Amino acid sequence: MRVGVLTGGGDCPGLNAVIRAVVRKGIEVHGWDFVGFRNGWNGPLTGDSRPLGLNDVEDILTRGGTILRSSRTNPYKVDGGVDKIKQVLADQGVDALIAIGGEDTLGVAKRLTDDGVGVVGVPKTIDNDLGATDYTFGFDTAVSIATEAIDRLHTTAESHHRALVVEVMGRHAGWIALHSGLAGGASVILVPERHFNVDQVVSWVERRFEKEFAPIIVVAEGALPEGGEEKLLTGEKDAFGHVRLGGIGTWLADEIAHRTGKESRAVVLGHVQRGGTPTAYDRVLATRFGLNAVDAVADGDFGVMVALKGTDIVRVKLSEATAELKTVPVERYQEAEVFFG
């Protein structure tokens, strides 16, 4: 059997760990051949590929990013895209695909399965917003990076009696903001799932100043003030219809400074949350996902995604995994709210 592997969407710590696990088990246990398609779904669209052998994955466990590169290509936005993919797979003798990605990449995987292509999905996103899995790899690393940044910002905020607003990633789901804010001892955490009242945020900030502490506000990039709109870096949309968010941190810092008369600065962590070495947890989770994805291919169980349920790796239908985003429930946010101010 010959198996194709691709990584789509935003890069994420742990992608290389999945590739390594897939190739090692596939070759050493089953004797399969592997081909890596470059740049997400653009690879099987254009035939851009490379062989994947044991030597190619020997030293990639600790590396961030992906040796196969990535893109936000949507073959369903390309004329004849599905037929092109089928032809490339046939020309290269590929019997099955393992697609590693988030909601968009796996949404394409689900549609391709419906169109007769054998695909197994592996859940990847730092946002932890994929349904049907308790955690995605990459999330733990992103939270650890954001938490370390918040830890460092506490000292400089206190030294200058400033309010610091830390903008983290999270378009529709506030998991990174919630977890890093709690771990980092933030004064306020703002998530997309719950529109925030600026007056209330200012009240919490002023309370911290009254206690002679410097407030730290953690805000997800998709968070919205009541009656407000998303802050956009650009109005252009990618192949999956997403605009680039950004700027809520700067806007909120300006509001706090204007209303309190206190110095306020914004720090945007941006893509630093995606980069670098994955944590031990993400390396292990990614490896387990890769090993179990190989098992699904061996069983001919296509149209599924490997998922974490409790401590077990299970298989769920791609249709279930991509049906809806996993967002922060109200009760989780309310648990954190007791610490605000």
Annotated binding site: 10, 103, 125-127, 162, 169-171, 221, 265, 271-274
Quote the Cα angle for 3-5-9, to 5°. 155
C-alpha span between 68 and 59 (Å, rounded): 14
For 195-206, the DSSP string reads -B-HHHHHHHHH
Element (H, E) at 6: strand 2-7
Residues in binding site for diphosphate? 10
C-alpha span between 286 and 338 (Å, rounded): 34
C-alpha span between 185 and 36 (Å, rounded): 42
| Alpha helices (H) in the chain, listed in sequence order | 15-30, 42-46, 54-57, 81-91, 103-114, 139-160, 175-183, 198-210, 248-260, 280-298, 318-321, 330-337
The verdict on whether 127 is a catalytic residue reads yes
Of 142, 204, 202, which is closest to residue 170 (Cα–Cα)? Answer: 142
Q: Which amino acid is at 178?
A: L
CA distances from 267 to 11, 114, 252 (A): 22, 44, 11
282 phi and psi angles, rounded to 5 deg: -70, -35
Residues in binding site for substrate? 125-127, 162, 169-171, 221, 265, 271-274
Residue pair 306/22 in contact by the 8 Å Cβ criterion:
no
Sheet holding 49-51, edge to edge: 49-51, 33-37, 2-7, 96-101, 119-123, 304-309, 312-317
Per the listing, tokens 């009696």 go with 161
For 84-102, the DSSP string reads HHHHHHHHTT--EEEEEES
Residues in binding site for Mg(2+)? 103
Catalytic one of 127, 129, 140, 282: 127
C-alpha span between 14 and 317 (Å, rounded): 22
List, by residue number, the catalytic residues. Answer: 127
